[in-house]
Amino acid sequence: MPERHYLRPTGFVDAPFGLDGKVARLAGGLLWFSAIEIVTVADDRVARLELVPISDAEAAAERLGLTSTWRNLVAPRAALTLGSRTVRLDQPQVVGIVNATPDSFSDGGRFAGAGEAAEAGHVMASSGAAIVDVGGESTRPGAKPVWEGDEIERVVPIVRSLAASGNAVSIDTRKASVMEAALGAGAAMVNDVSALTFDPRSAEVVAKAGCPIVLMHHLGAPETMQAAPRYDGPVLFAVYDWLEARIAAAVAAGIARDRIIVDPGIGFGKTVQHNLQLLNGLALLHGLGCPIMLGASRKRMIGALSGEAGVDERLAGSIALAVKGMDQGAQLHRVHDVAETMQALRVWRGLRDAALAPL
């Protein structure tokens, strides 16, 4: 395969004061970077690395035919309009998870019915979640597909209750009919772990609705995705290329680019080492020009790195990964533990605000 070049923001600084022309703002957010790492991949390996100061970055990108990638790195991300709510993406936001399923890996079977699940969503919103993401089908490793009728029955009452109270609601599903039912009940965003590849009608549904869509990277189906996953070359660039292709497919289907969000799919067809490489290199994905959602909450990698801690013992690790994402500019953080993550976010934001206050 021919060489391919990538731009990764690096050399983050506390504040831009006195550094005119030496730093750039990342995706219109609260981070500034002083260099880009030009990564050249050839023959499924990293062939060259070059560290370029910001003063030379735009010219270097133009030389490599990556002008649009450079512009993506520094362009502000448009706010999300979700019903009557506006979710700004110039700062990190929390997305709360409500799984109305009997078998999700973390909170499956937690709720006795739609009323309890909806109440949990209301609590998440009152605790600071900008969006509540409702799902009715588990996509954990080994999970079996759920009939769309059952999925609709699980999610629609929850979506309707949350939306009626003015909350911004996302529907977590792979199925077009579930998307339609949830959007009709008041959901304003679709979160598709298959990135619109599972159901041939899903792209049409999203395009017609004009709603934001999360395209998540995955490798294989939930039933088999963790059976020795492997990639040709470094996982970070494989995920980048795959998401780039899915963005192009979504745009070709009539979905506005400024309504597309990308998710690297932590734990979806990845080993612990794959996940760590993605988290360390997460800032590279800003080159796609779309907001980034990070969903690392309570994932198995946390247990693997901490003496096989159980799902209910992974809060500290979940917050550590969320903060790692904030430090690389991820705009949306999909979590189970909203109140605790919001506390971490507020501390993170306080540090950033202090750094951005002129001395």
CB 175 within 8 A of CB 198: yes
Say whether 347 sits in a helix, a strand or coil: helix
Q: Write down the catalytic residue from 299, 300, 314, 352.
A: 299
CATH 3.20.20.20 fits 80-355, yes or no: yes
- For residue 7, give the nearest of 89, 71, 91 by alpha carbon: 71
Domain ranges of the chain: 4-74, 80-355
What's the pLDDT at 112? 52
Strands 93-99 and 131-135: parallel
Measured between alpha carbons, how far is 61 from 59 in angstroms, rounded to an integer?
5
What's the pLDDT at 105? 45
Q: Which segments of the chain does DSSP mark as H helices, in order?
A: 54-63, 67-74, 114-126, 148-164, 176-185, 202-209, 235-252, 272-280, 300-304, 315-327, 338-355
- For residue 14, give the nearest of 41, 33, 39 by alpha carbon: 33
Q: pLDDT (tens digit, 0 to 9) for every residue of the chain, 359 residues total? A: 689 999 999 999 999 999 999 999 999 999 999 999 999 999 999 999 999 999 999 999 999 999 999 999 999 999 999 999 999 999 999 999 999 887 444 554 566 578 899 999 999 999 999 999 999 998 777 767 889 999 999 999 999 999 999 999 999 999 999 999 999 999 999 999 999 999 999 999 999 999 999 999 999 777 766 777 889 999 999 999 999 999 999 999 999 999 999 999 999 999 999 999 999 999 999 999 999 999 999 999 999 999 999 989 999 999 999 999 999 999 999 999 999 999 999 999 999 999 998 77
Measured between alpha carbons, how far is 315 from 299 in angstroms, rounded to an integer?
10
- Sign of torsion, CA 152 153 158 160? positive
What's the pLDDT at 111? 63
- Overall residue count recorded for the chain in this entry: 359
List, in sequence order, every residue forming a beta bridge with 190; answer none if it has no partner: 171, 213
- Let me know if 88 is a catalytic residue: no
Q: Which amino acid is at 88?
A: R
Measured between alpha carbons, how far is 255 from 209 in angstroms, rounded to an integer?
9
- Let me know if 324 is a catalytic residue: no
What's the pLDDT at 222? 73
What's the pLDDT at 2? 81
CB 268 within 8 A of CB 300: no
Q: Write down the catalytic residue from 8, 77, 334, 352.
A: 334
Structure tokens at 109: 């079977």
Diameter of the chain by CA atoms? 59
pTM of the prediction?
0.94
- For residue 168, give the nearest of 115, 132, 117, 134 by alpha carbon: 132
Q: What is the 3-state secondary structure (H, E, C) of 18-76?
A: CCCCCCEECCCCCCEEEEEEEEEEECCEEEEEEEEEHHHHHHHHHHCCCHHHHHHHHCC
